[in-house]
């Protein structure tokens, strides 16, 4: 694999010391890699507090970049230091990783990167590390070519992924594992979902054009527009008025597949942040929508999206795997199960997933997915349809879960997921990261037969 792509990016820290973009990036990386926080939550607590937009931009570039390329950068660093740093000096390792990322992927002058890394060590109270940092980075600059060639022999360095995930991808997608990982390491595009209940896609394109914002349509997702350049949502015409939302094109395929009709009772499980909930409501009038989410704070995001789009739904903070505490016993015509998963299909948007997920997490996740599917099946009207969706590319979270459902209940019938996108699987359809410039998503449709051979017994 080649080095990370060069990106035009000025050094916005301005030498302002511990409260600049570099220091914010260091604190974010500590929050993610030491405390296990998500990048999104660390950003909101640290980077969003920076007043200078240039420093916010720099901090995000550095944090995202180190997390995206961490497994490569750590192999490079191990080649440059004689012995691993002590656990209590992990902040110095992060200073070095940030500097290595800048040297490989940004246009900041080499001398400025080295000098700032040395200064950073002093500002965090570890003057002893200044000479070491200076020596390590200058050795890298001197031996860069040979070092880059040498680390390619290590799969973690070549693909910038943890070994357990490399192994699983090669097992599930033997011919496509490398393209998946290459796509995971690319910067994601910004996709919009036009609210066609309020404006046509053509008319919204005209509004974008009037603001000199370039966008293109997707060949298969009717509501999707891809911006040539990502921008702040505040610049999008009609965003606050509900004309448009930000949502990857893969996620926009769920609502058309669910195909809700007016008058139907619809259930959206694991609904936050509410993009699919809102899209379903945009597709048909007079839908009786119930959205369930375990996390009360994330449910607030669902409400905010509904309010902005002027839509209504019944919101329930509850556990989708234990429905008796909130379900009133009324059956639903259609159920969307947006299952919690490894998120292995959205790594390009959330590079922290590579560091936060562990191979041992999958057993617990697949058990929760099974429980949610079975509890969902209890709540589905005979003749109704369940749409199972994950943002995973791992078969144990996708086709294997549908296979497990079919083995457990006797009134389920798989409906083929038709489309000119993605790849047909045994039971569903898989989009891999980068397919039509989309995230990686899996979709499967299962219909509940009206006349099962025997009554289905499901343990609650």
Q: What is the greatest pairwise CA distance in the chain?
A: 76
Q: How far apart are CA 64 and CA 54, in angstroms?
A: 15
The phi, psi pair for 338, rounded to 5°, reads -95, 80
d(CA 422, CA 220): 11
Tally Cβ neighbours within 10 Å of residue 10: 12
- φ, ψ of residue 65 to 5 degrees: the values are -65, -45
| Dist. CA 237–CA 192, nearest whole Å | 12
Retrieve residue 356's tokens: 């936060």
Residues 418, 421: Cα–Cα separation, whole Å: 9
CB atoms within 10 A of CB 102: 27
Residue 272 tokens, joined: 């936050």
How far apart, in whole angstroms, are the C-alpha atoms of residue 78 and residue 389?
40
Is 391 among the residues known to form the active site? yes
HEC per residue, 77-144:
HHHHCCCCCCHHHHHHHHHHHHHHHHHHHECCCHHHHHHHHHHHHHHCCCCCHHHHHHHHHHHHHHHH
**Within 10 Å of residue 413's Cβ, how many Cβ atoms?**
12
Residue matched to tokens 């004309």: 243
Given CA atoms 228, 233, 238, 239 in this order, what sign does their dihedral have?
positive
Q: What angle do CA 80, 86, 91 make, to 5 degrees?
A: 80
Pairing of strands 288-293, 265-269: parallel
Choose, from 270, 278, 391, 425, the residue flagged as catalytic.
Answer: 391
Who's near 194: CB < 8 A, 6+ residues apart?
Answer: 200, 201, 204, 223, 224, 225, 243, 244
DSSP annotation of 244: E
CA 184, CA 166: separation in Å to the nearest integer? 12
Angle 212-213-215 from CA coordinates, rounded to 5°: 135
Catalytic residues, by residue number, are: 391
């Amino acid at each position: 694999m080649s080095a990370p792509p060069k990106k035009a990016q000025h050094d916005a820290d301005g030498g302002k010391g511990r409260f600049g973009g570099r220091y914010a990036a260091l604190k974010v990386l500590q929050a993610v890699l030491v405390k296990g926080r998500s990048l999104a939550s660390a950003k909101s607590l640290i980077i969003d507090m920076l007043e200078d937009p240039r420093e916010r931009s720099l901090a995000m570039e550095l944090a995202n970049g180190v997390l995206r390329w961490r497994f490569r950068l750590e192999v490079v660093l191990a080649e440059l230091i004689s012995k691993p740093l002590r656990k209590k000096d992990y902040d110095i390792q992060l200073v070095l990783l940030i500097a290595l990322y800048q040297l490989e992927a940004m246009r900041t002058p080499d001398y400025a990167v080295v000098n700032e890394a040395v200064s950073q060590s002093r500002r965090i109270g570890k003057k002893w590390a200044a000479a070491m940092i200076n020596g390590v980075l200058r050795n890298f600059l001197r031996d860069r070519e040979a070092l880059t060639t040498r680390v390619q022999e290590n799969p973690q360095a070549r693909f910038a992924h943890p070994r357990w995930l490399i192994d699983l991808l090669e097992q599930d997608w033997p011919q496509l594992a490398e393209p998946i990982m290459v796509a995971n390491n690319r910067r994601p595009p910004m996709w919009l979902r036009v609210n066609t209940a309020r404006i046509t896609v053509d008319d919204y394109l005209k509004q974008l054009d009037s603001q000199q914002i370039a966008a293109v349509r997707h060949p298969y997702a009717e509501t999707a527009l891809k911006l040539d350049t990502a921008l702040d949502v505040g610049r999008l015409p009609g965003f606050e008025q509900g004309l448009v939302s930000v949502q990857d094109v893969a996620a926009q395929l769920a609502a058309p597949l669910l195909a809700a009709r007016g008058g139907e009772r619809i259930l959206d499980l694991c609904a936050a942040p509410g993009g699919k909930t809102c899209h379903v409501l945009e597709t048909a009038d007079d839908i009786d929508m119930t959205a369930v989410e375990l996390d009360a704070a994330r449910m607030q995001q669902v409400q905010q999206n509904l309010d902005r789009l002027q839509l209504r739904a019944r919101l329930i903070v509850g556990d989708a795997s234990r429905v008796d505490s909130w379900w009133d016993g009324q059956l639903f015509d259609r159920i969307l199960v947006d299952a919690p998963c490894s998120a292995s299909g959205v790594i390009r948007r959330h590079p922290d997933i590579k560091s936060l997920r562990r191979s041992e997490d999958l057993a617990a996740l697949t058990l929760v997915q099974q429980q949610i599917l079975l509890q969902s099946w209890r709540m589905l009207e005979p003749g109704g349809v369940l749409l199972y969706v994950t943002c995973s590319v791992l078969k144990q979270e996708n086709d294997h879960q549908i296979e497990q459902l079919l083995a457990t209940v006797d009134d389920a019938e798989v409906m083929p997921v038709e489309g000119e996108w993605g790849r047909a699987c045994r039971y569903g359809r898989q989009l891999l990261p980068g397919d039509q410039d989309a995230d990686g998503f899996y979709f499967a449709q299962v219909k509940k037969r009206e006349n099962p051979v025997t009554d289905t017994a499901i343990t609650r």
